[in-house]
Amino acid sequence: MTVSAPAQVQDAAMIAVTFPDASTRTFARGITGAGIAASIARSLARAALVVEVDGVLRDLDWPIEHDAKVKLVRAEDPEALAVIRHDCAHVMAEAVQDLFPGTQVTIGPPIENGFYYDFFRNEPFSTDDLARIEARMAEIVKADLPFVREEVTREAARERFDGMGERFKLELLDAIPEGEPVTLYHQGGWFDLCRGPHGPSTGRIGAFKLTKVAGSYWRGDARNAQLQRIYGTAFATKAALDAHLHQLEEAERRDHRRLGREMDLFHVQEEAAGSVFWHPHGWTLWRAVENYIRRRLDGSGYVEVKTPQIYDRVFWERSGHWEKFRENMFTLEAEEKHLALKPMNCPGHVQIYNQRLHSYRDLPLRLAEFGSCHRNEPSGALHGIMRVRAFTQDDAHIFCTPEQITAESVAFCELLMKVYQDFGFQDVRVKFSDRPPVRAGEDAVWDQAEAALWEAVRAADLECTLNPGEGAFYGPKLEFVLRDAIGRDWQCGTLQVDFVLPERLDANYVGHDGAKHRPVMLHRAILGSLERFIGMLIEHYAGRLPVWLSPVQVVVATITNEADGYAAEVVERLKGVGVRAEADIRADKIGYKVREHSLRKVPLLLAVGAREQADRTVSLRRLGDSAQTSLSLDAVIALCQRESTPPDL
């Protein structure tokens, strides 16, 4: 956003620069970020990495030609991380081409947790090559080579890359839109086609680590040339890098796919890619989650419905999904009709709403569904039960009047926060996602929807950050992001204000004035995809789920076969008070049984032998604890019942 220069600034050769603290200073037109930093303090000149001009990151030597909002970004600032990683990607590409002559570079972007570069090379890279590449990278970093931006003509760039045999760069060059400048970034004698920005020099990169080698295809298309991708990560400090690498190790230990096998919860297989085979214990966990949410919804005034899986194309055209969401939908033909599996539940809920004419007295109407949906995710994006094609949402839609938006939104946020606390998530962040580039509805309607949602944010007293352009195609939304036990963020719940779909699908209610009005539709979910949320739970707790969620809450294991009958009695007593209990009366030693059930993450183990049978006691051992406690049978039944009860009961 451009700010006007103060009234006293009359000289056309001067510009006004506004800093994040709202202070304003004047500089000569064409001043650079480096020049501004040097005018403030030497320490800032040494610390600045890039400059943010009107919200866009630029090189420090970028000339500022107009009044602007300016922020000098240092290595420790969050905005710097992508720049550091982009710098490191260029250094890695140079190191690879130094060590493996003839290798062609393609693209090398920063990504969420690091960076990668795709290379074309006849011989495969191995993990042993990573150490050599890292060593060469360290030399380039130590040399502290300046990153230099050069703007060239297309013809000059083509001549350079053609002479180097970089055929992939020639394709990228052709893809640059006409009128957009062609820029190269140099570090010493190495350069690449790049928009930037970059830091001042290679010596400012910080700490880095190459993590793995993987396969890829040019432009992500299996019909194109096969490439090799080297992943890495970089941080401003070694401490931050070490913390990240520790998190990666911990994430590997907590991987829900491995734990799912060990706990015998589920599996996936190629013949049903993107769908989950739930085993008995896994489905028990699913039902525990689903039943908990259902009780919460029942207590909050929702009514549950069920809608079809397959709809005619005409239906999706009316809702707008065929135009805006078509590439993510599974389609089929039957009896010369074009059909599609539903990717979401909202249009079906409007059909239920429209079966009769509602009065304003009927509103709000809260329709909930554990809706089974299908989305055509790329096969390369599928990941265990976290990213699937067939999934179930804890979906609901609230039909309300415009005057009810705030109260309904506040009530939903309170419900959502309570649910997250019950599942053990205390750190919840909220993002406000406004209108995307591709959307339905006029700007005036979006203005109204965004204003209503901001009002709800203020009424609910939520701290919120802006997530520009990430709203749904039919309305703005709040996104609720959970931070797990090892510091990773997961976007789960959403609340969306929709004025568009009721208009497109002709939903109405009769108002106080006796006339027809359009209801507002609030799309909301708490867990989102149940599959993904269960995967999150497994990783958050490293498989050691709270007792109320554990598929098997108690195992009664015999020390000797003399106690088989007593073990069966204890199990029946536990089942009688609603505890999920099993008996282990195998002839194996108790130590073996303890190890096996610990691997399965059973939270409570009761050992019984001849002495316990005679005394009507049990020996209680908790998961992860080597100590045992002797309790009377009645006491342990009460303890297990208490700990296995869901928090909403």
| Catalytic hit among 375, 524, 573, 600 | 375
Q: What is the rounded CA–CA span in Å between residue 69 and residue 51?
A: 10
Question: Catalytic: 375?
Answer: yes
Closest CA to 224 of 233, 212, 235, 215: 215
581 within 8 A of 554, measured Cβ to Cβ: yes
| Catalytic hit among 209, 349, 366, 477 | 477
Q: Name, in order, each residue with C-beta under 8 angstroms of 533's C-beta and a sequence gap of 6 or more.
A: 289, 492, 527
| Catalytic hit among 87, 394, 395, 584 | 395
Which amino acid is it at 624?
G
Cis preceding-peptide flag for 603 (omega within 30 of 0): no
Which amino acid is it at 184?
L
Q: Name, in order, each residue with C-beta under 8 angstroms of 472's C-beta and a sequence gap of 6 or more.
A: 433, 436, 496, 498, 523
Q: Across the strands, what pairs with 606?
A: 556, 620
Q: Name, in order, each residue with C-beta under 8 angstroms of 415's C-beta and a sequence gap of 6 or more.
A: 296, 300, 526
3-class DSSP state of 7: coil
89 within 8 A of 109, measured Cβ to Cβ: yes
Question: Catalytic: 400?
Answer: no
Question: Catalytic: 621?
Answer: no
Where helices occur in 215-306 by DSSP H, the ranges are 238-253, 256-262, 280-298
| Catalytic hit among 397, 435, 597, 621 | 397
| Catalytic hit among 97, 187, 228, 393 | 393
Question: Catalytic: 154?
Answer: no
Q: Longest C-alpha distance within the chain, in Å?
A: 99
Query: What is the DSSP-derived secondary structure letter of residue 519?
Result: P
Question: Catalytic: 395?
Answer: yes
Question: Catalytic: 498?
Answer: no
Within 10 A of 124 (CB to CB), how many other CB atoms are there? 9
Question: Catalytic: 464?
Answer: no
> In angstroms, what is the C-alpha Rg of the chain?
30
62 within 8 A of 31, measured Cβ to Cβ: no
| Catalytic hit among 194, 346, 400, 640 | 346
Closest CA to 545 of 251, 295, 254: 254
Hey, what are 236's tokens?
Answer: 């401003």
**Per-residue H/E/C for 592-623:** HHHHHHHHCCCCEEEEECHHHHHHCEEEEEEC
| Catalytic hit among 86, 523, 593, 597 | 523
Active site residues: 346, 375, 393, 395, 397, 477, 523
